[in-house]
């Protein structure tokens, strides 16, 4: 982590995030209305706050599982090498699956995770991202459901960190070095 001092400017309020999640839940419940059980797969660590708020709003029968993936380490830049550090505990074969991600940046993580999970033959596989930086995209990936599109800024809060700090902020903030 950089020793340079920084400040965090609020970009998206907690209230705006909560309102958007309510809207996204309507879309998800419509798309998965006929499912017998939706497997909601959170990508650790950044999505843990988002997935908690999302699943509390869903009225569908759900199961929650997690994948831990890494492409950043403690850096502000993606290494583009996606490593699966913790795999799913359960099976997703012939089941409906929703991947929950905090932020889609280059797209490498979500593209690799999608391919990884498709090999397990789910019946339906969709993805949701709280944040999207389309200006940074390096591969062809677009989440099926999207919270907010943001500019190319380094952000923290609501589960998203900078070198394991600032995950606990209730809002999304832009890191600005002073």
- Which residue numbers are catalytic? 105
What is the distance between the alpha carbons of residues 172 and 178, in angstroms, rounded to a whole number? 19
CA atoms within a 13 Å half-sphere pointing along the CA-CB vector of 141: 25
What is the distance between the alpha carbons of residues 153 and 44, in angstroms, rounded to a whole number? 21
């Amino acid at each position: 982590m950089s020793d340079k001092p920084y400040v965090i400017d609020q970009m998206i309020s907690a209230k705006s995030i909560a309102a958007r999640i309510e809207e996204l839940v309507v879309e998800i419940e419509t798309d998965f209305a006929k499912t017998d059980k939706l497997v909601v797969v959170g990508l650790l660590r950044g999505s843990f706050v988002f997935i908690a708020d999302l699943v509390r709003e869903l009225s569908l029968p759900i199961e929650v599982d997690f994948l831990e993936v890494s492409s950043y380490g403690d850096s502000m830049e993606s290494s583009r090498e996606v490593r699966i550090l913790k795999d799913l505990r359960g099976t997703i074969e012939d089941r409906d699956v929703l991947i929950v991600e905090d932020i889609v940046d280059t797209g490498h993580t979500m593209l690799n995770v999608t391919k990884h999970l498709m090999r397990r033959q789910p019946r339906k596989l969709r993805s949701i991202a709280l944040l999207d930086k389309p200006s940074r995209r390096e591969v062809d990936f677009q989440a099926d459901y999207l919270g907010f599109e943001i500019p190319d800024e380094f952000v923290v809060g609501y589960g998203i960190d900078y070198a394991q700090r600032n995950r606990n902020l209730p809002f999304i903030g832009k890191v600005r070095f002073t």
